[in-house]
Amino acid sequence: MSNFSQTVNRDNLSLSEQRLQIDYLSSSNLHINSLDGQDIIWGLSQTPKSLPPRYFYDQRGSELFEQICELPEYYPTRTEAKILRQYAQEITQVTGACELVELGSGSSSKTRLLLDAYQALGHEFKYVPIDVSGEMLVESAQQLQQDYPKLDVQGLVGTYEQALDNLTPTTLPSRMIFFLGSSLGNFTQQKCDRFFSQVKAALDVGEYFLLGIDLQKPKHLLEAAYNDSQGVTAEFNLNMLEHLNQRFAGNFDSELFEHWAFYNEQLNQIEMHLRSSVDQTVALAALKLQVEFAAGETIRTEISRKFDLAIMQKELQAQGLNSLAVWTDPKQWFGLFLTQKSQVD
C-alpha cells in the first residue's frame, strides 16, 4: 500500500456540500506514465512499434468511444447492459449494503442499472468512481447526483493501480469493486494477473468483485465490431495521433496513416494498428523524439482480448476470487462474473 498522504493532492473539490468529494491521485507514477510521455518514447522505439491505449482518451477520443458503444456492430456495450439489467437485483441481494467502487467509470451509464437496483432494495450504498479523466468523472458524478438525490459520491482521479492502492476502509458493511465493458481485454496477461492481485488486496475476505468480459466468437463478428461501416472506430484510432500532436507538440499527419484492425486467432485478440501509407519521419518536439516510418509499417495501438468463460473462472479462482455467479446472454457473447474474495492475502 503506497503512502496515501504523499500521493494524494488534498485540494479536494467539495461540490454540492458533503455528498460529492473528488480526490486527485497525482503520484509521480502518473507523471512518468502519462504526462511525461516516457511510455510513448518506449513504445515507438520497439519493433514492432506500439502506443499505450490510454492515449485514445482525450476529450474527442472519449466522445468517439461513447459513439462506438452505440454502433450496431459494437455488441459488447448493449449485451453487457442487458445482462446487468437482468441480474442487478440478484447482485444487490447477494452483496447487501455496500460501497460500489467502479474502475474506469467513464460516463457511468451502465452504473445506473446497479444504482437503480440498490436504490430499489433500499440498501445503503455509496459510489466510488475511478477514472483518469477528472472532467468526465466530475461531470458524470454531478449528473448522477441530480438523478439520485441521496447518493454519496467519492470519486478518485487516477489510474486503476493508484486508486486500488489508495482505497480507504469503507464505513459500509461491504465493498464491491466492479470493472465492466471488458476493459480487462485491453490488458496483457501479465498486467491482468497484477491487476487481479491488486483487486484482491483492496478487498477484505467476503467482499466482492464484479467483472464483465467479452467472449470468443466467430472472427467476422469481431472484425465487424472494430471496423464499423460508419468509420467511427477508424476515427477513434486516428484521433490518438491528433491527441499526441496536441499534447506533445507533434506533427503526425493523420491523413498519412490508416486504421487497421483484425482478429488474431492464435492469441484470441483483436489488434488495432495505425499503418503508415508512406515513408515518413514524425517528430514529437516536447519529447525530443523523431520517429521514422517505412511505408506499410504499423503502430499497434490496442489489443482487445476475447475470453473463455471456464478459463477465466479458473484464473479468478487461482487468484482467490471465487465465482458466486457467472451470467451470460443467450448467444454467449459476453460474460459477467460475481466473485467473492475467499482467502487472506
Pairing of the two strands 298-305 and 321-328:
unpaired
The least distance separating ligand AVI from the CB of residue 237, rounded to whole angstroms, comes to 7
Judge contact between 233 and 249, C-beta under 8 A.
no
Taking CB under 6 A as the criterion, the residue among 95, 304, 319, 340 binding ligand AVI is: 304
Within 10 A of 280 (CB to CB), how many other CB atoms are there?
Answer: 17
Q: Which residues pair with 282 in a beta bridge?
A: 291
Cell of 238: 486516428
| Nearer to ligand AVI (CB atom), residue 175 or residue 306 | 306
CB of 123 to ligand AVI, least distance (A): 29
DSSP code for 16: T
Interaction between residue 133 and ligand AVI (CB under 6 A) = no
To ligand AVI, the closest distance from the beta carbon of 305 in angstroms equals 8
Which of these ranges, 20-28, 108-116, 182-190, 243-251, lies near ligand AVI under the rule CB under 6 A?
Answer: 182-190
Q: Which stretch binds ligand AVI (CB under 6 A): 41-49, 177-185, 192-200, 333-341?
A: 177-185
Binding mask 253-292 for ligand AVI (x = CB under 6 A): ----------------------------------------
Query: Quick one: which segment of 10-18, 164-172, 183-191, 196-204 binds ligand AVI (CB under 6 A)?
Result: 183-191
* Residue 68 touching ligand AVI (CB under 6 A): yes
Contact predicate 182/53, CB 8 Å: no
| Residue 129 touches ligand AVI, criterion: CB under 6 A | no
Long-range Cβ pairs for the range 24-32 (8 Å, 24+) = 24/134, 24/157, 24/158, 25/156, 25/157, 25/158, 25/159, 25/162, 25/163, 25/166, 26/158, 27/2, 27/158, 27/162, 29/159, 29/161, 29/162, 30/158, 30/159, 30/162
The residue from 95, 186, 298, 319 that contacts ligand AVI (CB under 6 A) is 186
Among 43, 181, 212, 335, binds ligand AVI (CB under 6 A): 181
Terminal-residue alpha carbon distance, the chain: 13
* Residue 106 in the binding site for ligand AVI (CB under 6 A): no
Residue window 206-235: x/- pattern of binding to ligand AVI, with contact defined by CB under 6 A: --------------------x------x--
The strand pairing partners of 127, in sequence order, are 100, 153
Tell me if 105 contacts ligand AVI by CB under 6 A.
no
Q: Is 302 in the site for ligand AVI (CB under 6 A)?
A: yes
Q: Does 185 bind ligand AVI (CB under 6 A)?
A: yes
Residues 226, 272 contacting (CB under 8 angstroms): yes
Minimal CB distance residue for ligand AVI: 304
**Residue of 97, 143, 139, 87 whose CA lies nearest to 118:** 97
Q: What residues make contact with ligand AVI under the rule CB under 6 A?
A: 68, 181-183, 185-186, 226, 233, 302, 304
